[in-house]
Every structure is written in C-alpha cells, then in structure tokens.
Amino acid sequence: MHLKSFLIACLFLFRVLECLGQPIDNTASARTISGSTYTRFYYDNDFFTSTDGNYSQGINLEVVNSGLRKFPLSKLLVSIGSGMKKYGIALEHLAYTPTSIRHEEIIYGDRPFAACFYFKTFKLSVDTIRNILFSTTINAGVIGKIAGGEWMQKTIHRNLNNIEPLGWDNQVKNDVILNYDITFEKALMPYRKGIMFSSISKLSLGTLRDNFGTGFSVMAGKFDNPFFTITHSGNDFQCKLYSSALITLIGYDASFQGGLFNNDSPYTIAAKDISRLVLSSEAGITIQFKKLSAEYVQKIISKEFKTGEFHRWGGIRLGWKFVLT
C-alpha cells in the first residue's frame, strides 16, 4: 500500500470511528513506541472511571512514518540534536459536557458544552548525549458545532439505548484552532535496572489553549531507554508501569472561554473564574510485543474553574507497527 493511499484510508477510518478531553499526548517518553513506522489508535472516556460529564471523551488516530518528513508542515517543526527523529500526523477529536446532560437550558456555573476536531503534525527527536526527548506539534482544526460533538454523543447514546443528551444548543460556537505545542523531557538519572525518572516541561500557544506546565515522570519495568533510541528496538517484549504529575499555569482555554475570534457563544466561563494553576496526574501500563502494543491509563485533574470539581477518566491505546511500500 502506498503512503498516500494509506493516509486517505486513515481519514475515512477516523470518521467511522467517531460514531463509536484533554489533549492527547502520545509523544511522552512513557508511551513512546520503539520503531519509526507504526499506527496507533487511542480512545479515552470518563466511562472507564464510572463518571459522566466534564471531559467526556477523546479519540486519536496517529500515523508515524519517515516519509512524513517531506510533509509541508513538517518543515515548521523544530528538533534538537543530530540524532534520531520521528515524523507523524494524527487526527484528534475531543468532547466536553457539563456534569448533567439532561437539561436543555444552560447550567450556569458548570462546564460549557464544547467539541474540538483537528489535524496534528508532529516531530519527535532525541538527544542521546544530554538525555533529552523533544517534540513539537502543530494543531489545525475547528472548535464548535462543526466539530461534530453533538452528533457523536447522540449517536453513541442512541445505539446504546441510553438517554438522549440535551443542551448541545448551548455549546461553544464555531471558531478556528491553530496551536503550536512543545514538550521537553530530560532524564534525571541514567537508565538502570528497568527504572527511569525524568522531568517534563510543556508549552502550548495558539487559539485553542495557552499554557505552560512542568512536572516529573517515573517508569519501571522491561523497556527500551526512550532517551537512547526511539526508532529501533531489539526487544520483542516490553512492559512498563508509569506515573507522572504535572502543574500547569493556564493562560487561555477555548473549550471554557470560547474561541478567540467568535464571541457569540451562549455560555462560557469568565476569565476571572478560570483556575490559573491546575494539577494533573496519570498512571498506566504499556505492553509491547513484536508489532503490537497496548496501553491502559487512568488520569485525574484538579478544578479547572472556580465552580468546577476534580475529574477522573481512563483510556486505552492500541498500536501496530507496519511497513509501507
């Protein structure tokens, strides 16, 4: 299969999968897949923690291939060092709802309905001398009704014979998403005996979110050192447990405050009510065997606005290494 044909198939597949959050970060060391050519599907939902509301669900379909270094947007991505690099693209859909979807009217003091759909282009590079993992990502898409969040949730509930979600008429209005994200991760100690500690810094700038976060990550198990190799593995079997914690300084979030260019949303969270410091953490397990990989993760995040609440959700990732001709 040619790369172009495969990418067209992925676009179609993603729209099909939609009828079945927080930004989905597949570039962190804890979830790096060894290899330079693979595809990965990710789905998370608060269903996995028996909750409902706030961050409702996220879907991500990712393709990594060395041929994507020639993709036009890849030229706008920064890397470090002269070592190995990965190039990828992804489609991502995020949906947010208030704590109740049984009201047609606006629930003031709760989270607005919002949906985001965007295309991602990313580059992942490693500096093996300074033990640094570095990634840059361009996100381009839409927020609002055009992103299909209402259609997606109603389709799921209808097929599961669940209640019809109400209130989507009050969602954040259509606007443009254009964001540039940078992640910098550095090993704090040499990889030894299957244990690794690292520090993390993240910066996001654009029309969807403006924030800066810093924290740490720990991994344990049998796995390749992600600060030494990201494109090749000599191990057929890998298994790792990981946990990370992050504190984020929030400047702007369109899913709460509405888009940057469209001020006609019927309900948003005022800037003065946004939580400027947000704590988040996650823990999970990743298993990789030959061409297949699987991951399960649980996440928690502190109040994102004055009248909000802590929120938990879970997710699964499935990956498959492949070769394109």
Report d(CA 196, CA 189) in Å as an integer: 7
Q: Which of 22-31, 57-66, 163-172, 316-325 has the lowest mean pLDDT?
A: 316-325
Residue 233, pLDDT score: 59
CA 19 from centroid of its chain's CA atoms:
19
- Asked if 51 and 87 touch (Cβ cutoff 8 Å), the reply is no
Which residue did the predictor score with more confidence, 81 or 156? 156
Cα 139 to Cα 74, 91, 176, 202, 289: the distances in Å are: 12, 9, 10, 15, 31
30: left (phi over 0), alpha (psi -120 to 50) or beta: alpha
Q: SS3 for 298?
A: strand
Residue 20 has pLDDT above 80, yes or no: no
CATH number at residue 177: 2.40.128.140
Domains held by the chain: number: 1
Report d(CA 33, CA 233) in Å as an integer: 9
Residue 11 has pLDDT above 50, yes or no: no
Q: Which of 6-10, 21-25, 154-158, 289-293 has the highest mean pLDDT?
A: 154-158
pLDDT tens digit sequence for 93-103: 999 999 889 99
Report d(CA 73, CA 89) in Å as an integer: 10
Pairing state between β 311-321 and 292-301: antiparallel
Report d(CA 216, CA 245) in Å as an integer: 6
- Asked if 106 and 89 touch (Cβ cutoff 8 Å), the reply is no
Count of C-beta atoms within a 10 Å radius of residue 172: 28
pLDDT-based confidence at residue 28 (cuts at 50, 70, 90): confident
Residue 47, pLDDT score: 56
Cite the beta strand spans of 149-304 per DSSP E.
Answer: 175-187, 195-206, 209-222, 237-253, 277-289, 292-301
pLDDT tens digit sequence for 161-218: 888 999 999 999 999 999 999 999 999 987 777 899 999 999 999 999 999 999 999 9
- Asked if 95 and 152 touch (Cβ cutoff 8 Å), the reply is yes
Q: Which helix (H) or strand (E) holds 85?
A: strand 85-97
Q: What is the mean pLDDT of residues 74-92?
A: 89
Residue 5 has pLDDT above 70, yes or no: no
Pick from 29, 39, 146, 159: nearest CA to 91: 39
Report d(CA 209, CA 27) in Å as an integer: 18
Quote the domain boundaries for residue 224.
3-321
Which residue did the predictor score with more confidence, 30 or 269? 269
Q: Work out the mean pLDDT of the chain and round it to a whole number.
A: 85
pLDDT-based confidence at residue 231 (cuts at 50, 70, 90): low
pLDDT-based confidence at residue 227 (cuts at 50, 70, 90): confident
Residue 45, pLDDT score: 67
Q: What is the mean pLDDT of residues 286-296?
A: 86
Q: What is the mean pLDDT of residues 25-45?
A: 79
Which residue did the predictor score with more confidence, 22 or 74? 74
Residue 254, pLDDT score: 97
Percentage, residues of the chain above pLDDT 90: 56
pLDDT tens digit sequence for 99-115: 889 999 999 999 999 99
